[in-house]
Chain A
Amino acid sequence: AQTVTQSQPEMSVQEAETVTLSCTYDTSENNYYLFWYKQPPSRQMILVIRQEAYKQQNATENRFSVNFQKAAKSFSLKISDSQLGDTAMYFCALGGGGGAQKLVFGQGTRLTINP
């Protein structure tokens, strides 16, 4: 069975600081994908960043980057120069490779950016 664990239920930082959200996962597949989704108070699920397991290079999207440690099954999200609009729930998700597969989500981390 695939599992995703987010060990930080809540985090809070000041605007412009850098924050790292942790995620660990477990899967027996060799080919899989990892995602971070953001859910602001509007409850819309928004894709933040995606990582393919076979790629060693860490994915980056503007202020968002990941630290993917395949052997340790760790997939953390770093937000640089945090902004008030980054305040949201952040979910780590694991998806299988090869066609459409379901996503398994972690329990989420509630991130608050303070002015």
Chain B
Amino acid sequence: DAGVIQSPRHEVTEMGQEVTLRCKPISGHNSLFWYRQTMMRGLELLIYFNNNVPIDDSGMPEDRFSAKMPNASFSTLKIQPSEPRDSAVYFCASSPVGGPSAKNIQYFGAGTRLSVL
């Protein structure tokens, strides 16, 4: 299995620009999570989906952030307009739900390091 795939690996952009981060979960996993990691706040959940439906978006910092999951194999996290304080590493994780093999384990992608200048 290829694991959770995130792209791009690094993104450098200027303040005010739109940024789109992409995630392909592990095939067969029906839950997908977006996390943000910063030195100040650590790892925090932004939003998660079950069966492509957003379940909890309480961690999304503000309206500039939006996330979609149009199908079971793809999700995007968009920031528009971006600001320097959005600079962080963004992780996507997926998890199988239900059944003895699920075990509530989340598998993480390699992350996208975003720098907003």
Contacts and interface: CB of A to CB of B under 8 A. Distances in A.
Interface of A: 33, 35, 37, 42-47, 50, 91, 95, 97, 99-108
Contacts of A107: 42
A33 B104 contact: yes
Interface of B: 30-31, 33, 42-45, 48, 50, 55-56, 59, 89, 91, 93, 95, 97-98, 103-108, 110-111, 113
B33 A45 contact: no
A102 B45 contact: yes
Tell me the dominant secondary structure on chain B's binding face: strand
Contact of A45 (B56, B91, B104): B91
A48 to B, nearest CB: 11
B104 A100 contact: yes
A97 B103 CA distance: 9
A44 B109 CA distance: 7
Nearest to B9: A43
B108 A44 contact: yes
A43 B110 contact: yes
Contacts of B43: 91, 105
Contact of A100 (B31, B91, B107): B31
Contacts of B48: 100, 102
Nearest to A99: B97
A36 B101 CA distance: 18
B110 A101 contact: no
Given A43-B110, A45-B108, A50-B103, A100 B50 contact: yes
Given A99-B31, A99-B98, A102-B59, 5 more contacts: A45-B108, A50-B103, A100-B104, A104-B45, A105-B42
